[in-house]
Amino acid sequence: MTDRGSIDRRFAESIPQIYDTHLVPLIFEPYAADLARRLSAMPVSRVLEIAAGTGVVTRALAAALPAEVSIVATDLNQAMLDRAAAAGTKRPVEWRVADAMALPFDDASFDAVVCQFGAMFLPDKPRAFAEARRVLTPDGLFLFNVWDRIEENEFSDTVTNALAALFPNDPPRFMARTPHGYCDVQAIERDLRAGGFAASPRVTTLSHRSRAALPRIPAIAFCQGTPLRDEIQSRAGASLAEATDAVAEVLSMRFGQSAIEGRIQAHVVAVATRRDR
């Protein structure tokens, strides 16, 4: 039997393609641009990205950072990296399969470690943070973001509530449990300290508007482009297609039947290797 945690970390089969075409422009692109902008203002020569997914941040970094800055983009899932590599970047980057909790790099190898919306999936966050710190130089920076609570993210919240109405005896809770399950800033600070970061993190809460041409786009994005797909398919009472249709209908009732938009919100965390930086 597959445990729930491994399902939450699974991005395989058709998920990478739907994730990249639907979910990335819906919610990930503005935050990728933000991380790249923040890092471009810093003197770095070697950057490591963990949990790179289909490469939205990698592409932003490749466009924003000087050509002489080397970028190594890693992810635990080969299928996601294959999609990222196929999309390509403006300049060469190194793609590698790697476990964030056991990084295959020497100590003090990178000036910055970047992670977009991956920390929530790490089964042992202090251990992964300790690995990030280990591979950072003494003047390095760990820069990452996590989603705020689900109630501050209107599409995710609406999708979750719609599925709870469709499967009342066993509501699919992937979105609330994992993507939006690591939003407590104090918990993040504790895990960073447990991972060896002595400096206090700088946390910025950043809101954007998520837009879609039709309500069916976020319905497909969340229901079929994330591990929520596995939760839906494991339940009786409605097929994946029927669940997607039901979610699209609820989205249209709340946000409109044509172009729609909703609030998204995340925390951006920056923590230096040195206490005084």
- How much is the pLDDT for 14? 60
Confirm if 25 and 194 have CB atoms less than 8 A apart. no
How many Cα atoms are found within 13 Å in the side-chain-facing hemisphere of 103? Answer: 25
Tell me: the pLDDT tens digits for 32-53? Answer: 999 999 999 999 999 999 999 9
H or E segment and range at residue 143: strand 136-147
Cα–Cα dist 36/114, whole Å: 9
Torsion of CA 120, 175, 205, 203, to 10 degrees: -10
The long-range contacts involving 233-241, CB below 8 angstroms and separated by at least 24 positions, are 235/167, 235/170, 235/172, 237/166, 237/167, 238/166, 238/167
pLDDT at 275: 72
Lowest mean pLDDT among 8-22, 23-37, 182-196: 8-22
What interhelical angle do 185-194 and 125-135 show, nearest 10?
60
The answer to whether 49 and 115 have CB atoms below 8 angstroms apart is: yes
Rounded Cα distance between 259 and 212, Å, is: 6
Cα angle value 132/9/181 (rounded, 5°) = 80
Whether the model clears a pTM of 0.85, i.e. scores above it, the answer is yes
Q: Which domains does the chain have, with CATH numbers?
A: 4-272 (3.40.50.150)
Over the stretch 56-77, which tens digit does the pLDDT of each residue have? 999 999 999 999 999 999 999 9
- Nearest by Cα to 56 from 76, 79, 80, 92: 80
Enter the tokens of residue 277: 């930086």
